[in-house]
Structure 1
């Protein structure tokens, strides 16, 4: 049989096997484990910074006065992954580098010594739910798991290390501004208001800040402030081409929502990460890197938004990159500029020793003062106070979380609910869906994203070809793939076959495609799972919006094989939109990267246990879109969103393949009685402007037509 569009090559069929790992699920005996810093038996127990009758600020100042200069510098400029353990004070090594955008990710745990935890759907999938309730459930579960992990790691380190209580990889305020951007999976979508609402809910729930502001469940650092952190390559990105009005209207609003105090309607994130981007300071007209930008770090963050967040640099060092890109002559000048602008913590990684040396030079030269360092370290210690590091276990509200919450059935159920709620039904010709499982004799589940349970290789960090977890994911005890979920959903007498067909990108086997075509031609129903995977991630932008060529061949051949009455449903597993020919199948679902229960969530929608409710949080652009962008010089570094045909639904000048907010259901709805009024409810004011402006409230009546018809028939 001639395969559609296929140039036949003889290449090995690549499968992936998970390595043998030791999974931590039990806390070892407490014998030999050091007490908490301020517990009985600790050398610090009777010191003033452990006196709970003092204010947190007084305790911080006492602890600060007991640190050596070297210890202060080690806290200011941390390497990977943590600061030092201070034996004489029993002050723990503190890990800042955790990520909490869709569950807890701990990239620095050794792959052979892993802690299992729940991997929820990617942030872009959570954005597709348009549900604060889903965000709240995922965030609350993440907090519980963070404390369970903290207990395990504390015991395994002998009581020397604190982990997972600060997420410097907190919710992104970046928007999915360009369909080529490799980090879309980490965002909630393209609209600044939508990102503000979803991200603020995540920050509030993850932090669970006490009413007096003195205690946090976890500390969240929002990022990347401001502009856009590059994907390919990760270098300083000038924002000179973005108009100031667009910068204020599109880029900054989510940061404002995340950072403003709770009393002003914000989320009051505990930290903020300045980016590797540069932005124009409108007061001077000068293009200044974000980590040295006083307009961003002082005028906006401190003066206008009233935020007291810790300002930290990004990993691998936003300071040294200023020298590389020519903003300063040397590292010392870059350090001085950043500290004077407001940088308080540098995640310098490989450059950490040099930065500490430059601090000493700057103190000796008088370019920086001791109070500059002390002020920064005090703010770092205040965050550590707020997350309860210096409190005994019995006084920490989350200190007694049982470790069996990790990847528990309760949390897996949340992951499944979130995955199902994120599915966006793009096309349902002839009301093909939902499928009636009692009227199906055979199903073929096909594609590189059909079964990925064996692809786990350890914590997912900068990106991977793992099909359901993707960037900055946890390490679940198991994944439920689409093939397994479909098999579980159907009666035992239904024949369910699986064929991979191709890998995600260039490596494929002609025999594997032939196998897929064989199963597709024999089945009553085909569920084809295709997508992007490794081609979009941190450090890799997408050069095109179509499927990889091998998957285009797979889609074409399977569609041809299914042309004689076979029901074909295509699920797209991606973060950014994929330009496809929707005439090749009757049913299309945007399935995102759905986490460890991605298969179950998709099956729930396909077989009607859940009616699809997801909506696109971004635009899926039409055929030839990038050609038109290129014709106008609108490359990914051109941040004027109105350039050429435009980017995001707010600036797009042409008809998209699928619009922002699009999503079908298994029923139809009627809308009437539209009402518009000025809000008088302060709680609805997500971002309170200086002028006290109140938002419009738009309300309407909605009716489920199918339910109404059923009621009238009865």
Structure 2
């Protein structure tokens, strides 16, 4: 190719080269929770009127079910591959979003798996494997040529979790982040997405990190991803982020050619941007002519790009997928999986013996609230066109007679329709209130100012509840956390469900839970704070740990030292579970170190005397020690159900500024009523017990650690003493 021809391939709309029969290609398609309309690579029409729309990731993540996460992605990639065969999609999907939700006000929480880096990493591995893995090639040794069903993309690195909040804007925001927080939190999901998920693409974010735009950061793109993580694939910019570097940030006073030189040499391969804003395509030749970048840098980028396309079979197809077509999109099995994903994720937040309900005993149900007949709000953003919708009104109406009175929309500024909703509750045997948020309140480029229900929704709920003749069930649709303390404390609200944005079959999943056809088992992937959280610390403060001198209380369950409404991992059931005694042989780990080289200093509480070897540098030490144990899960209630056991590690209490606890494993198990099941866990000791010291070294502290199964009063635990011997 000539230089002009090469440059023309560096944008998300690659022109192709007719002279050498290189087809044009649109790189940008999305598959966050189903094939989306977002991007130029995908379109719907007569041949493909819709695709299966699964719940948004925040709800699917609440299932804590790794096999479900992978199965959802497998179905999405099958539908994507079928759409490609029909000429309606590309093969490169810029999903999933694996940013950590550092702050509950972030408008894109619905797109993510939550706030815990370990859990997000597990989600990323399973989702990417579900998208990419071709059967019988999972053990492929040459990762650079391993076939891909479709190409996934882990985004957006890094420290990106602020869009538009007061005077801060993601296009200008400089995330001031410690290296400790980068290693421990912001980059951890990306590390495992590459190392264990073998993702074939990653996307850099708009923001600066400590003064350097993420897409121009050589340390991130080349040293971290390429050299440290051994990344095989291409790196793409968030759309228009190069133009942002040049025009909005005016970083270093750069020209367009300077921006090309900075980003291409840093390791960026593909520029997503439209028209004149695609700086690579419009000013690439000029950048080479001015000596800002070498043609060999362009060759490297094109090699990374077309290697991925070759792996997807873009040039010669993959025989196993040649026959996929319309029959494989919106199948009954796929729609049922979307329903099941919603069922598994929905979280029961409160239940005063109200749920489940027997529909045969209900003559009339009041159905009120902004989301009582929700359709499009259920599928969130980065969405496609669903196969169909089953709204709460549709589904509940199949079981009982309903009187539907909306009361107000999500913004709830007009109270004129309150009286019919109140009157409906007065006459009904049971009242269902569907409230919460929507993309009008939380979305990309739309962060929240508080954690309250919008407008007059709280007033609507209180008025309806006060008037209700029968029990009241409140269903919340949202991505982010809400302070609904008033509802938790109101004795007339017998039950509360959180249903996220439950996808095209969300109404059916909610009805199945309300009427007892499914026993809820979801757990919150986000901490639900009280509203005073937003007054306690600004959203643009990036520190995870508390900052005592500023009165900042810390972030996420690992560091927040205040009172919460519902903690991370919280979720009730229609039955009761408890744990038996833990059976383990791992009560101590004696590790004989051949040299002090393996030892690292550690920050301790005041007046604690450090041992000769305070901690082990896990990067240098080939740690093979395992922690293994069994725990019995007992269903003591009268209903079959699933239970997810969350396993945490707690560091020695003398270690300063450490997480209070951190998730290290989880398993979901089905347990029939009055029966038990045994869960077996085994994980690497260094990975489970390690901390990130303030120096950013990943270390295993000496001393007494604790392994904890569960939360609250029913947890069980055992100690693990780490003895580092020189």
Alpha-carbon deviations, 1:84-120, whole Å to 9, x = none? 2543444332121111121111324668766300100
Contact 1:504 / 1:550 at 8 angstroms: preserved in 2? no
For residue 72 of structure 2, the aligned residue among 130, 133, 138 is 138
Is residue 224 from structure 1 mapped to residue 159 from structure 2 by the alignment? no
Tell me the CA shift for residue 419 of structure 1: 0.5
Task: State the match for 2:403 in structure 1.
Answer: 497
Alignment of 1:69-80 (within 5 A): 69-78=3-12
Aligned CA distance change for structure 1 residues 399 and 528 (closer, same or farther; 3 Å) = same
The secondary structure found in structure 2 opposite 1:558 is helix
Asked whether the 8 Å contact 1:176–1:187 carries over to 2, the reply is yes
Which of residues 517, 536, 543 is equivalent to 1:628?
A: 536
- Residue among 316, 322, 327 paired with 1:399: 322
1:475 paired with 2:385, answer: yes
1:41-60 → structure 2 map (5 Å cutoff):
none
Instruction: Spell out the pairing of 1:192-203 with structure 2 (5 A cutoff).
Output: 192-203=117-128
Q: Distance in 1 between matches of 2:281 and 2:34?
A: 33
**Out of 15, 27, 30, which is 1:99 matched to?**
30
Pair 1:234-2:173 in alignment: no
Cα deviation, 1:139-181, whole Å, max 9, x if unaligned, reads 1110111012112226xxxxxxxx331012x112211111000
Pairs within 5 Å for 1:379-398: 379-392=304-317, 395-398=318-321
Normalized per residue, which structure has more helix?
1
TM-score w.r.t. the length of structure 1 is 0.79
Residues 572 and 711 (structure 1), Cα distance of their counterparts in 2 relative to 1, 3 Å cut = closer
Distance 1:104 1:357, change over 3 A: closer
1:271-286 paired onto structure 2 within 5 Å: 271-280=201-210
> Is 1:602 aligned to 2:498, yes or no?
no
Find the partner of 1:166 among 86, 89, 92.
92
1:215 pairs with 2:141: no
- Show CA shifts across 1:466-520 (max 9, x none): 32011111211311001111112x2xxx42111111111145351x221111111
Distance 1:397 1:508 in 2: 55
> Is the Cα–Cα contact under 8 Å of residues 63 and 521 in structure 2 kept in the other structure?
yes
Counterparts of 1:619 and 1:150 in 2: how far apart (Å)? 39
Q: CA deviation at 1:390?
A: 0.6
Partner of residue 257, structure 1: 192
The answer on 1:515 being equivalent to 2:420 is yes
Cα distance, 1:700 vs structure 2: 1.6
Q: Helix, strand or coil for the counterpart of 1:77? A: coil
Moved more, 362-371 or 658-667: 362-371
Indicate conservation of the 8 Å contact 2:276/2:282, yes or no.
no
Q: 1:370 to 1:554 in 2, by over 3 A?
A: same
Measured in 2, the distance between the counterparts of 1:541 and 1:553 equals 23
Structure 1 residues 613 and 384, CA gap change in structure 2 (3 angstroms): same
CA offsets per residue over residues 437-491 of structure 1, 9 Å max, x none? 22222111111111124xxxxxxxxxxxx32011111211311001111112x2x
Q: How does 1:147-166 map to 2 (within 5 A)?
A: 147-153=81-87, 163-166=89-92
Matched, 1:321 2:257: no
| Paired positions, count | 588
The alignment's C-alpha RMSD in Å is 2.3
1:670 to 578, 581, 585: 578
- The alignment status of 1:308 with 2:213, answered yes or no, reads no
Q: 1:690: how far off?
A: 5.8
Does the 8 A contact of 2:205 with 2:238 survive in 1? yes
The question of 1:560 aligning with 2:466 is answered yes
Cα displacement string for residues 630-659 of structure 1 (whole angstroms, at most 9, x for unaligned residues): xxxx23454445341222101110120000
Q: Does the CA-based 8 Å contact 1:423-1:592 persist in structure 2?
A: yes
Give the 3-state SS of the residue equivalent to 2:504 in structure 1.
helix
Note if contact 1:528-1:568 (Cα within 8 Å) is conserved in structure 2.
yes
Structure (1/2) with the larger strand percentage: 2
Whole-angstrom CA distance in 2 between matches of 1:539 and 1:320: 15
Per the alignment, residue 362 of structure 1 pairs with: 287
Query: Which residue number corresponds to residue 418 of structure 1?
Result: 341
2:472 partner SS: strand
Matches of 2:180 and 2:279, distance apart in 1: 39
TM-score by length of 2: 0.77
How far apart are 1:409 and its partner, in Å?
1.1
Are residue 702 (structure 1) and residue 633 (structure 2) matched?
yes
